[in-house]
């Protein structure tokens, strides 16, 4: 099948149903009945073998990974096909969280390859409950808020952590806090964090009761700094009263992203999404190392080897404004760039002439996209997405809409950021 078969490929995407998902956000985006019958957590757009998007080719629906396998250069572009071994290197998602996700970190590329090989040698099935590495890839990711989005990301400064722990008066872990005070640095934090994840169940239960009692107290309730920490300790503790993750709002940066704001998470950064709907773009991986707040497999030893123990320096992603209403989110990933396109009827968007594969998702309004030679035209409305093959000529988008674009950066793209 040659590249002349490809152009704009409307995508048929799969919804992942997890308990923390929303009954409203994804259904509302897709124009489905609200509330949905079950919680809908993620809408996947891409070619990950777990849940590949499908496209229509010659009258049949074909998984996107199979389409790319038939002609990598035609879909991805020659450079991207060679650079990423003939695979779409990113996974594009809509993520809708009605309650907190697991506390987690992602491995770097070398760790992912070694972990995947190690678990293969143990003959652990790829889809097994107790499998940590489901593929060989790392998972840097960006999340851009569609609604107000609460998240935790990276450790707080050491003095801030100790200040919060002092106010919480957690006698159940008094020894561990005292040791951390003596070494308020990365080494001390590593020891403290290891000790927390090694606590016996009875001490975790005691810690949970103390933390919930503090969260429900009236002392300091009007304090703007402590109020969100109390609120999230309370919400997490109500759902997971005997989980060490109840302490995470005290240790990690609590971040409220406003619509359009984004956060980037590289390998080793401890984080957890709490509540909200957003656009998520990541390397094409499903590798997650969990430490709490979940019924899924928790791999404490591997998580402890992965986590970075220095405080987070910068959390929100800087943006670069380009012409035609396009905003680029400046991230260092080799596999992807995310941009937001705000269309006005009087100002169409024109693509660049040299580009790799792209996925466009419409989150508001409607528009039409057409090639500049006039040979192809199609409408795109809220909730719909389309893959733009690299072999397509230049195109233009017209309408009144908001689009998010995921694409593989060419060398000249990264040089301009």
Q: Which of 115, 140, 121, 119 is nearest to 129 (CA)?
A: 119
Other CB atoms within a 10 A radius of the CB of residue 322 amount to: 12
The DSSP H or E segment spanning 283 is strand 271-283
Q: What are phi and psi of 54, to 5 degrees?
A: -120, 155
Asked if residue 35 has a cis previous peptide bond (ω within 30° of 0), the answer is yes
At CA 265, angle to CA 263 and CA 270, rounded to 5? 115
The Cα–Cα gap between 365 and 398 comes to 11
Sheet strands (E) in 47-148: 54-57, 60-63, 90-97, 103-105, 141-145
Sheet strands (E) in 41-157: 42-45, 54-57, 60-63, 90-97, 103-105, 141-145, 149-155
- CA dihedral sign, ordered 358, 364, 366, 372: negative
The Cα–Cα gap between 387 and 5 comes to 13
Q: Which of 296, 315, 302, 328 is nearest to 414 (CA)?
A: 328
Tell me which residue has tokens 């970075």: 308
The Cα–Cα gap between 136 and 131 comes to 13
Contacts of 163 (CB under 8 A, 6+ apart): none
The residues carrying an active-site annotation are 290
């Amino acid at each position: 099948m040659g590249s002349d078969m490809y152009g704009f490929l409307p995508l048929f995407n799969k919804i992942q149903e997890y308990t923390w998902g929303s009954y409203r956000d994804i259904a509302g985006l897709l124009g489905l009945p609200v509330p949905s019958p079950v919680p809908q957590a993620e809408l996947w757009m891409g070619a990950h073998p777990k849940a590949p998007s499908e496209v229509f080719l010659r009258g049949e629906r074909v998984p996107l990974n199979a389409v790319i396998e038939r002609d990598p250069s035609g879909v991805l572009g020659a450079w991207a096909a060679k650079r990423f071994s003939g695979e779409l290197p990113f996974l594009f998602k809509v993520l809708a969280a009605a309650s907190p996700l697991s506390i987690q970190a992602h491995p770097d590329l070398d760790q992912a390859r070694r972990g995947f090989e190690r678990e293969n040698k143990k003959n652990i099935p790829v889809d097994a409950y107790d499998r940590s590495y489901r593929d060989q890839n790392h998972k840097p990711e960006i999340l851009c808020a569609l609604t107000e989005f609460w998240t935790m990301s990276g450790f707080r400064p050491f003095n801030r952590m100790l200040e919060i722990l002092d106010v919480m008066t957690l006698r159940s872990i008094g020894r561990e806090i005292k040791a951390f005070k003596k070494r308020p640095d990365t080494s001390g934090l590593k020891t403290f964090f290891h000790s927390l994840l090694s606590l016996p169940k009875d001490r975790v239960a005691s810690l949970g009761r103390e933390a919930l009692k503090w969260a429900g107290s009236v002392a300091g309730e009007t304090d703007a700094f402590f109020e969100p920490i109390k609120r999230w300790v309370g919400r997490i503790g109500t759902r997971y009263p005997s989980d060490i993750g109840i302490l995470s709002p005290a240790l990690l940066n609590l971040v409220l992203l406003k619509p359009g704001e984004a956060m980037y998470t590289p390998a080793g950064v401890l984080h957890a999404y709490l509540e909200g709907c957003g656009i998520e773009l990541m390397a094409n991986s499903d590798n997650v190392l969990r430490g709490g707040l979940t019924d899924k497999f928790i791999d404490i030893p591997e998580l402890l080897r992965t986590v970075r123990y220095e405080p987070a320096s910068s959390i929100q992603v800087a943006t670069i404004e380009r012409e035609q209403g396009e905003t680029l989110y400046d991230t260092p990933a080799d596999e992807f760039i995310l941009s937001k396109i705000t269309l006005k009827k009087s100002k169409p968007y024109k693509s660049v002439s040299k580009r790799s594969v792209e996925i466009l998702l419409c989150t508001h309004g409607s528009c039409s996209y057409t090639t500049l030679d006039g040979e192809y035209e199609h409408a795109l409305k809220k909730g719909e997405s389309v893959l733009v093959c690299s072999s397509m000529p230049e195109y233009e988008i017209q309408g009144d809409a908001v689009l998010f674009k995921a694409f593989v950066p060419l060398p000249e793209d990264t040089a301009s950021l």
